Structure 1
Amino acid sequence: MRSIRIPESLQDYFNDPSLRSVVEHLLEQTDERLPAGLSWQDVRAYHEARLAALKVRADFALLLLDVWDASWKQALERHGIGEAAAWD
């Protein structure tokens, strides 16, 4: 059986409620403008934090694909069912 590695970003996200809150807040931001009141000195940190939050989202999606590959994909292939047919 293939082992699945949980990315460090997700381990931190699930283990630290305050970090989880910050990530959720950043991912809820749909406006591309900088937050009101953000100082010039904080612009770099804001973008770095936003990028890290997006990495958490991407790592979660990739983890779900790894879980799919390790479970359903193998089971379907054993029964001669391709991945495309599973989505029909």
Structure 2
Amino acid sequence: MQYMVFIAHSMIYLSTAVVLISGVLMMGRDISIFGIFSIPSLVTDVQFLSLFSVIHNVACMCLGLLLLLHVAAVIKHQLCGHAVLKRMFA
């Protein structure tokens, strides 16, 4: 069971990293950070921009499903009498 938890959390972390990295790489223009400074576009080739956009969309869907699964697991454990939320906030 602990191995499954480790795998699930690792997949959430990996999906989050892929979403963030592909989100930056799919931008075809400079990225403004709160108007303070900007990061120039790292990729200019239209085919690569399209590829990173597809990767970003798939990773977002996977992350959403993983988070839904995570919330469902927390609810299931709470209903079974395991104080998961109490341990999380303690």
TM-score range, shorter chain: 0.3 to 0.5
Structure with greater strand percent: 2
Normalised by the size of structure 1, how large is the TM-score? Answer: 0.45
Larger RCO (alpha carbons 8 Å, 6+ apart) = 1
Normalised by the size of structure 2, how large is the TM-score? Answer: 0.44
